[in-house]
Amino acid sequence: MKFTLPKWYDLHVHFRQGAPMENYIQAHLDMGCCGVLAMPNTKPPVTHVSGKNTEQYWTIENYLSDLKQAGGEAFDDIIVPLYLTGETSAKMITEGAKDGILRACKYYPPHGTTNSEHGADLNIYMENGVFSAMEEAGLILNIHGEEHGLSGETYFGESSNAEDYFYKNHMPKLVKKFPSLKIVCEHITTKTAADFVNTASDDVVATITPQHLLYTVADLLQGLKYHLYCLPLLKFEKDRNALLEAATDKNNTKFFAGTDSAPHTTKATECGCAAGCYTGGIAPQLYADAFNLNEDNLETFKNFLCLNGPQFYGLDVSKETFTLEKKPSTPVIAGNAIPLHTGLGHDELNWTLNL
């Protein structure tokens, strides 16, 4: 079994900064990726559009040029969303959009995940003109949909969790107030979020990671496989089934690939664990596993991996191709981050990817 697919866009990836970037970018190119949405949670974060970097913040203009220099020139396109903070103004949005450098903005729940401490409460942007300027300019809002500041059972419990809370309490208000704002619900993990996206307008879509299609929290806990520790946390079988159903639906136009590949060179520490799964080099192979890719669902797989994302972002589908063959392969480990499946103790992937 061997399938030829157009090169695909990873519409949620962390490339970080400095020398390691080259390895991470190369690993993405090597897995048939033709373009990316590169996340702005660098240190310092990308909270300004143009001009020079400072000690407090980076600019999209500078980070884009860093990414290109580190090998990203080979991508057809790179989108860097603006990291929204309490300092982001409607004026920055409108001017950035006019320049064409600003194409998307990322909402991070304050303190919710890796390098997210610069984020501000969602309500601030609902009131201070930022979302309204984005809606007006046709920019895309990338949402990390988790309620911040929760603990104990409300953070992660049997009947609710931080994502569930966010999609029940904030998202309905957001889409009601800004009905034509283009929204990508990033790395959704719950049935609540999948249901929300399914019933929302065509302007509301979602990315899904390989790990959330393949695993549940039980896989993380049994043997404490900390390479599976990412945020939002893996959830339950009912949630995984809802994600799989959404992604593998024949008529799916709203759900697409965004790996959230997040390299951490030190995962487990004395007092906890860095959140993020690294899937550079192996993501299409993992997605193919999740789909149980075969002749019958090839078109659906192609929609999820290669077509729906670029369609929403207005990007051209690549004319170049790559192949996935049902034949074991050993992944190449580039750089210091351990790919997820290696971290889980698997030597081989079920698929071989060739460019």
- What is d(CA 246, CA 132) in angstroms, rounded to the nearest whole number? 29
Residue 276 or 339: the one with the smaller Cβ distance to ligand NCD is 276
Residue 230 interacts with, from ligand NCD, Zn ion, none (CB under 5-8 Å by kind): ligand NCD
Q: Which two three-digit tokens encode residue 322?
A: 């790559």
- Which amino acid, 98? K
Q: Is 228 in the site for ligand NCD (CB under 6 A)?
A: no
Candidate list 114, 252, 300, 350; residue touching ligand NCD; CB under 6 A: 114
The residue from 102, 150, 230, 324 that contacts ligand NCD (CB under 6 A) is 230
> Known catalytic residue: 260?
yes
Residue 144: strand, helix, or coil: coil
Residue nearest to Zn ion (CB): 260
Backbone angles phi, psi at 127, to 5 degrees: -100, -30
Q: What is the contact surface with Zn ion in residues (CB under 5 A)?
A: 260
Where in the chain does DSSP place strands (E)? 2-6, 8-13, 33-38, 46-48, 58-59, 77-79, 82-83, 104-107, 140-143, 182-185, 204-208, 255-257, 268-269, 272-273, 321-325, 352-354
In this structure, are strands 352-354 and 321-325 parallel, antiparallel, or unpaired? antiparallel
Binding residues for ligand NCD restricted to 59-98, rule: CB under 6 A? none
- Residue 113 sits in the site that holds ligand NCD (CB under 6 A): yes
User: Which lies closer to ligand NCD via its Cβ, residue 17 or residue 300?
Assistant: 17
Catalytic option among 10, 164, 203, 260? 260
User: Which is closer to ligand NCD, CB of 43 or CB of 319?
Assistant: 43
d(CA 287, CA 277): 14
* Interaction of residue 14 with ligand NCD, rule CB under 6 A: yes
Ranges of beta strands (E only) in 19-144 are: 33-38, 46-48, 58-59, 77-79, 82-83, 104-107, 140-143
17 binds ligand NCD (CB under 6 A): no
Binding mask 24-63 for ligand NCD (x = CB under 6 A): -----------------x----------------------
Q: How far is the CB of 14 from Zn ion (least distance, A)?
A: 6
Active site residues: 260
Which positions lie near ligand NCD, rule CB under 6 A? 14, 41, 113-114, 144, 230-231, 260, 262, 275-276
